[in-house]
Amino acid sequence: MLENMKDMLNKADSGKYAVPQFNINNLEWTRFILEQCQELKTPVILGVSEGAIKYMGGYKTVANLVKSLISNLNITIPVALHLDHGSSYESCVKAINNGFTSVMIDASKYPLEENINITRQVVNYAKDKDVTVEAEVGAVGGEEDGVANELAYAKVEDAIKLVNETNIDFLAPALGSVHGIYKGEPKLDFERMVKIHELTKLPLVLHGGSGIPDQLIKKSISCGICKININTELQIAWSKTVRLYLKENEKVYDPRKIIKSGEAKMKEMITSKVLLFGSNNQA
């Protein structure tokens, strides 16, 4: 069932587990994720970046694809369709108008006041449409860094101000994680995580979930993280297997066989994350 993230993340917050956000790139990925999450009885968030939306043929195409798969595959677990890192008010509005049930407005590259202004506009638009809003404070680094810049960690007072002045549903504070592959072990600031969770009383989101050691993931969940985003590790699991398959099966040219060759490893990765996050049997 397609729904927003409110219920699933509030339940995760009180139940001390985290709901996975897996990023989707195409029809097959969407199917693999939905099937495996149904099997594990976990709620799931399908995260779609602006780049992936463009690649897949636009907001409407993505929303229709997800809705059709949910119906045709008899998916009964709660599923949220979430815009990942929406870069502007306009892209959030497009997502909302085309059937996304949740959006992230990422105005973290702007000074705090501007981040607040843009985020507030998105919340005002989303609220009466029953769409949930996630925002970022501080700045989660990218793959080029591999290590978080401590100056970009979210400040507690900024997190409180953003939450109080915007009325967002969920907060993604940058606290040491980065997107992509880490150089060494991430230095997550758990003390600040606990403070931000206690003072904002909102479910927190951990971006850059790939490659964070299991014990740090568990600790993050105990400190208020209720949603963990995974993209890179699924991509690596899939592409490693497909690369090997193509090498060992040089005569195969049917794209269905090629894409499907990555299914089992991708599903294995999904299972390991869901079990680690503790969201199995919560749907």
Q: Would you state the structure tokens that stand for residue 32, as one six-digit string?
A: 């693999």
The reply to whether 84 sits near ligand 13P by the rule CB under 6 A is yes
Residue 147 or 199: the one with the smaller Cβ distance to ligand 13P is 147
Size of the site for ligand 13P (CB under 6 A): 15
Residue 82 or 197: the one with the smaller Cβ distance to ligand 13P is 82
The reply to whether 179 sits near ligand 13P by the rule CB under 6 A is yes
Say how far apart CA 94 and CA 111 lie, in whole Å: 24
Q: Which stretch binds ligand 13P (CB under 6 A): 62-70, 107-115, 227-235, 273-281?
A: 227-235
Our CA angle for 262, 267, 269, nearest 5°, is 100
For residue 212, the minimal CB distance to ligand 13P (Å) is 9
Buried b (16+ CB within 10 A) or exposed e, 222-241: ebbbbbbbbbbbbbbbbeeb
Say how far apart CA 271 and CA 273 lie, in whole Å: 5
Within residues 233-272, the interface with ligand 13P by CB under 6 A covers: 233
Other C-beta atoms closer than 10 Å to the C-beta of 154 total 24
The reply to whether 232 sits near ligand 13P by the rule CB under 6 A is yes
Can you tell me which of 105, 118, 133, 230 binds ligand 13P, judged by CB under 6 A?
230
The reply to whether 78 sits near ligand 13P by the rule CB under 6 A is no
Can you tell me which of 91, 101, 166, 231 binds ligand 13P, judged by CB under 6 A?
231
The reply to whether 209 sits near ligand 13P by the rule CB under 6 A is yes
Residue 78 or 209: the one with the smaller Cβ distance to ligand 13P is 209
The reply to whether 207 sits near ligand 13P by the rule CB under 6 A is yes
Alpha helices by DSSP H, 41-173: 50-56, 59-72, 89-97, 112-127, 156-166
What are the C-alpha distances in Å from 124 to residues 87, 107, 120, 192, 193? 17, 15, 6, 28, 27
Residue 26 or 281: the one with the smaller Cβ distance to ligand 13P is 26
H or E, element range at 272 = helix 263-277
The reply to whether 91 sits near ligand 13P by the rule CB under 6 A is no
The reply to whether 176 sits near ligand 13P by the rule CB under 6 A is no
Q: Determine whether 106 is an active site residue.
A: no
- Note whether 155 and 178 are within 8 A (CB): no
What are the C-alpha distances in Å from 70 to residues 3, 97, 250? 12, 19, 34
The residues carrying an active-site annotation are 84
Site of interaction with ligand 13P (CB under 6 A): 23, 47, 84-85, 179-180, 207-210, 229-233
